[in-house]
Amino acid sequence: WTLIEEKRDKFVKQSLLSDEFIDMMQRNRKPFDLLMSYYQCAIMEIETKFKVLNEEYSLEYDKNPIEGIKSRIKSYDSLLKKIRRKDIPMTLESIEKNITDIAGVRVICSFPADIYEVADSFLRQDDITLLERKDYIQNPKPSGYRSLHLIVQVPIFLQDEKKPVTVEVQFRTIAMDFWASLEHKMRYKKNIPAEQMKYLQDELYDCAEQSAALDKRMQSIRNLIAENKEEEET
Ligand code: GTP
Ligand code: MG
């Protein structure tokens, strides 16, 4: 029994369901769920925008720059972790204001140039407000991470209100997503000795550099093909 109890206690600790959070959820369960549903709606709006763009590109330019779209709502656990890390008040208003990645949309593009083309078309839409732009392709993170991050607001239309909702959009190529997904899987592994950790980080960084080099080569191939096509047509 003690073993089971220990396991349960450990689980509760790990899942971070603090009294404070449980308390807020009980007091504010309905408003909290409502807020989460707004984020879900915002994700639907943003996803549709990218599907429309991809459709237009496929008809007009005979290309599909978007390989896929993945969306997610932040889990309670990681929401709570972040509230603690950023040390912000445990209220709905402050969560809405300070946590900008509750709704996340990831747009996977074919080539690096597609990212900027699709992102620009998206930002030109007059109902999208840009709050923050972080270009980790031009300036990769020390880990080697590459991606273009846009924090935007999109309005959602409720019965008698137009509500702006914040969404984080991450643009990646297939290669950037491949690296980030695998690195993310391995990043939280514990009990690794310090000197081995350094080696693993260096290895991962090198893999990021290599996949960025592949992206560049693929982009050059695509550019050459496009140039030839233009010549053919003129
Ligand atoms: P957070 O407070 O963690 O959101 O950091 P931040 O506000 O500086 O945001 P940032 O622009 O760094 O983006 C955070 C998100 O980008 C994460 O949730 C990941 O999805 C992604 N990300 C950032 N750095 C890395 C990295 O080194 N590896 C992987 N796999 N993903 C990363
Ligand atoms: Mg963030």
**pLDDT tens per residue, range 182-215:** 999 888 677 888 888 889 999 999 999 999 999 9
Per-residue model confidence (pLDDT) at position 7: 57
- Please identify every residue whose CB atom is under 5 Å from ligand 2, which is an ion: 101
Mean pLDDT score of the chain: 90
- Ligand 1 centre distance from Cα of residue 84 (Å): 17
What's the gap between Cα 219 and its chain centre? Answer: 23
Q: How confident is the model at residue 15 (pLDDT cuts 50, 70, 90)?
A: low
Sign of CA dihedral 33, 155, 138, 178: positive
Q: For residue 137, how far is its CA from the centre of ligand 1 (angstroms)?
A: 13
Which amino acid would we find at residue 198?
A: K
For ligand 1, say whether the CB of 149 is within 6 Å of any of its atoms.
yes
| pLDDT attached to residue 219 | 97
Confidence at residue 233, expressed as pLDDT on a 0 to 100 scale: 77
Mutate to test the pocket of ligand 1, among 101, 105, 132, 172 (most ligand atoms within 8 A of CB): 101
Residue whose CA is at the smallest distance from ligand 1 atom 8: 134
Instruction: Report whether residue 183 contacts ligand 1, using a CB cutoff of 6 Å.
Output: yes
- Which pLDDT does position 175 carry in this prediction? 98
Give me the pLDDT at residue 17, please: 59
Give me the interface pTM, i.e. the ipTM.
Answer: 0.95
Between 16-30, 37-51, 170-184, the lowest mean confidence (pLDDT) is in 16-30
Torsion of CA 14, 76, 147, 110, to 10 degrees: 110
pLDDT, position 93: 92
Is the model's pLDDT at 48 over the cut of 90?
A: yes
- The CB of 134 under 6 Å from ligand 1? The reply is yes
Burial of 107 (0-12, 13-18, 19+ CB in 10 A): buried
Our answer on whether the CB atom of 47 is closer than 6 Å to any ligand 1 atom is: no
